[in-house]
């Protein structure tokens, strides 16, 4: 009888049986008359044992000289071994090479460290290494958990167009293209304007897709193409979406910790840094040990994530600068720079929500705070450990006249926004939402120092190959 075809991840169901694995040769070590090939199949890796005396000579000779990343089908008996990372080893009986990597062109990604440029140039092959595969598995779970949260909480997925006639997040970062004869089109920066329309049709909606920004900055947080998930809720205000963001993030972290402990270990992530997010009952009291700030507002008493106004965050930065903990002072009225965000987020063991930024530095569509119209009813969620902003959101302007004057003040073309203004003419209601960048969350949860490893093929200022 032909042995069953199995995957490495499912070997616990095949202990003691002879199975066939279909994959690639990941590594090969020889010690006299013993070979130790490591096979990978996408679901994991397993070490094979090949004693010269125990296998047909052709099998031994084939494996002995096999080049790394050659594709193969290997048959052997699954043996439990507590010392093995996967818990199992394979006593090899037979091997069939599908394609042998030519000796003249060995697999370019060696197990030793290679430079980042070289790795990015070979991203199509770099993806095969265990760390990169583990990151992509975690990414897939983050995306699934994010969509699952909204799908199971009454949100309707309504995906917006990718080709748009208008700018959502400012005109300086638009990718422009010709759209037939006389028209220009832009790649979307955010689906928000469109899901405001679907929210007024369906109540609670979300979108999930690629978004584009011609970011001219080379930073470890910016891609020119990234995936954003955006909920939008009719009759919701700023506090509602802060509660939503908290529950949403908690759900994602819990799904990742539930099924990716082994992957996070391969990646080298210290998971104890993520656990407070799940065990937290309520945000610690102001001034609690380990928290530098005595000033932040706890917000709703059930809130698990600290909520800090822009003014409170500014005061925290001023104090830090005075104490020599920050190199540069933060100018009141300016956005937070990345050292500022890093400092603020490092004061807490879980994400922190900074709300009510000056309206002047935020987007045209944000509702002013009725108690101080110079501030916007907006929130940025900063991830801990210096990962910076993962979510940006706000309550939206719901008055026709105010929105129209905002569009004019921002020198945006009124004609392209007429449909958006219509939403304030036909049954306008308070509404709010946010956007979360998937890659920022992958970087944070996996503990990566650059977003280039968070997406299969990163698009950045300098790279559009492969």
In the complex, the residues that contact ligand 4AD under the rule CB under 6 A are 168-169, 190, 192, 213, 215, 222-223, 226, 228, 230, 389-394, 433-437, 439-440
CB of 310 to ligand 4AD, least distance (A): 15
DSSP conformation class of 155: P
CB of 390 to Mg ion, least distance (A): 10
How far separated are the first and last CA of the chain, in Å rounded?
Answer: 44
Partner touching 358 among Mg ion, ligand 4AD, none, CB below 5 to 8 Å by kind: none
Two tokens, residue 122: 């070979």
Beta bridge partners, 309, equal: 355
Partner touching 69 among ligand 4AD, Mg ion, none, CB below 5 to 8 Å by kind: none
Two tokens, residue 426: 């036909």
Partner touching 192 among Mg ion, ligand 4AD, none, CB below 5 to 8 Å by kind: ligand 4AD
Contact positions vs Mg ion (CB under 5 A): 392
CB of 207 to ligand 4AD, least distance (A): 8
| Residue (260 or 362) nearer to ligand 4AD, CB | 362
| Residue (48 or 191) nearer to ligand 4AD, CB | 191
Query: CA-to-CA distance for 226 and 459, rounded, in angstroms?
Result: 8
Partner touching 212 among ligand 4AD, Mg ion, none, CB below 5 to 8 Å by kind: none
Q: What sign does the dihedral 74-79-85-87 (CA atoms) show?
A: positive
CB of 29 to ligand 4AD, least distance (A): 40
Closest CA to 195 of 239, 238, 228, 153: 228
| Residue (375 or 440) nearer to ligand 4AD, CB | 440
382 within 8 A of 390, measured Cβ to Cβ: yes
| Residue (60 or 155) nearer to ligand 4AD, CB | 155
Q: What is the DSSP string of 93-110?
A: EEEEEEEPPPTTS--S--
| Residue (389 or 453) nearer to Mg ion, CB | 389
Alpha helices in 127-230 (DSSP H): 130-151, 192-202
CB of 2 to ligand 4AD, least distance (A): 48
Partner touching 185 among ligand 4AD, Mg ion, none, CB below 5 to 8 Å by kind: none
Query: CA-to-CA distance for 429 and 204, rounded, in angstroms?
Result: 13
Partner touching 169 among Mg ion, ligand 4AD, none, CB below 5 to 8 Å by kind: ligand 4AD
Query: CA-to-CA distance for 314 and 147, rounded, in angstroms?
Result: 34
| Residue (208 or 343) nearer to ligand 4AD, CB | 208
Closest CA to 393 of 138, 124, 226, 196: 196
| Residue (76 or 392) nearer to Mg ion, CB | 392
| Residue (95 or 168) nearer to Mg ion, CB | 168
Strand ranges for 188-339 from DSSP E: 204-212, 225-234, 307-309
H helix and E strand count, the chain: 13, 19
| Residue (160 or 392) nearer to Mg ion, CB | 392
Partner touching 168 among Mg ion, ligand 4AD, none, CB below 5 to 8 Å by kind: ligand 4AD
Partner touching 120 among ligand 4AD, Mg ion, none, CB below 5 to 8 Å by kind: none
Query: CA-to-CA distance for 177 and 257, rounded, in angstroms?
Result: 42
> Cα–Cα distances in Å, from 246 out to 219, 240, 250, 251, 410?
26, 10, 6, 9, 31
Residue nearest to ligand 4AD (CB): 392
Query: CA-to-CA distance for 357 and 355, rounded, in angstroms?
Result: 6
CB of 331 to ligand 4AD, least distance (A): 20
Two tokens, residue 79: 């043996």
Partner touching 437 among ligand 4AD, Mg ion, none, CB below 5 to 8 Å by kind: ligand 4AD
| Residue (384 or 392) nearer to ligand 4AD, CB | 392
CB of 148 to ligand 4AD, least distance (A): 19
Residue nearest to Mg ion (CB): 392
CB of 389 to Mg ion, least distance (A): 6
CB of 266 to ligand 4AD, least distance (A): 24
CB of 237 to ligand 4AD, least distance (A): 14
> Cα–Cα distances in Å, from 235 out to 155, 196, 240, 300, 367?
14, 11, 9, 19, 13
| Residue (92 or 390) nearer to ligand 4AD, CB | 390
Two tokens, residue 153: 């909480």
Query: CA-to-CA distance for 94 and 435, rounded, in angstroms?
Result: 52
Partner touching 304 among Mg ion, ligand 4AD, none, CB below 5 to 8 Å by kind: none
CB of 381 to ligand 4AD, least distance (A): 7
155 within 8 A of 203, measured Cβ to Cβ: no
* β-strands 4-6, 18-31 pairing: parallel
DSSP conformation class of 158: -
């Amino acid at each position: 009888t032909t042995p069953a075809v199995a995957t490495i991840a499912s070997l616990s169901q095949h202990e003691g049986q002879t199975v066939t694995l279909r994959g690639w040769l990941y590594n090969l070590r020889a010690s006299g008359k013993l070979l130790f090939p490591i096979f990978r199949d996408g679901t994991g890796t397993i070490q094979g044992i090949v004693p010269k005396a125990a296998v047909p000579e052709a099998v031994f000779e084939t494996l002995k000289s096999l080049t790394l990343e050659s594709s193969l089908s290997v048959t052997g008996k699954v043996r439990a071994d507590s010392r093995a990372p996967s818990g199992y080893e394979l006593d090899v009986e037979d091997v069939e090479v599908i394609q042998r990597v030519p000796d003249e062109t060995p697999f370019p990604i060696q197990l030793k460290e290679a430079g980042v440029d070289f790795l990015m140039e070979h991203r199509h092959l770099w993806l095969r290494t265990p760390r990169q595969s583990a990151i992509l598995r975690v990414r897939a779970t983050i995306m699934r958990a994010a969509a699952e949260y909204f799908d199971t909480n009454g949100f309707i997925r309504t995906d917006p167009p990718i080709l748009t006639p208008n700018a959502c997040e400012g005109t300086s970062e638009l990718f422009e293209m010709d759209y037939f004869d006389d028209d220009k089109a832009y790649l979307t920066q955010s689906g928000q304007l469109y899901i405001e329309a679907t929210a007024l049709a369906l109540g609670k909606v979300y979108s999930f897709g690629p978004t584009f920004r011609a970011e001219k900055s080379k930073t470890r947080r910016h891609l020119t193409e990234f995936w954003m998930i955006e909920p939008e809720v009719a009759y919701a205000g700023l506090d509602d979406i802060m509660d939503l963001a908290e529950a949403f993030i908690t759900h994602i972290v819990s799904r990742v910790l539930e099924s990716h402990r082994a992957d996070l270990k391969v990646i080298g992530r210290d998971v104890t840094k993520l656990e407070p997010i799940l065990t937290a009952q309520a945000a610690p009291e102001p001034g609690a040990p380990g928290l530098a700030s005595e000033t932040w507002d706890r917000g709703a008493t059930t809130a698990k994530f600290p909520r800090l106004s822009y003014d409170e965050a500014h005061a925290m930065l001023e104090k830090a600068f005075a104490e020599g903990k920050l190199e540069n002072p933060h100018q009141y009225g300016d956005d937070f720079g990345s050292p500022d965000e890093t400092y603020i987020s490092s004061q807490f063991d879980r994400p922190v929500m900074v709300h009510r930024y000056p309206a002047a530095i935020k987007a045209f569509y944000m509702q002013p705070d009725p108690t101080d119209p110079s501030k916007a009813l907006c929130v940025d969620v900063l991830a801990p450990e210096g990962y910076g902003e993962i979510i940006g959101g706000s309550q939206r302007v719901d008055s026709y006249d105010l929105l129209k004057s905002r569009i004019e003040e921002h020198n945006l073309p009124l004609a392209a926004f007429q449909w958006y203004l219509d939403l304030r003419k036909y049954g306008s209601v308070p509404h709010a939402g946010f956007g979360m960048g998937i890659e920022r969350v992958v970087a944070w949860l996996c503990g990566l120092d650059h977003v280039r490893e968070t997406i299969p093929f990163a698009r950045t200022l300098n790279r559009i190959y492969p």
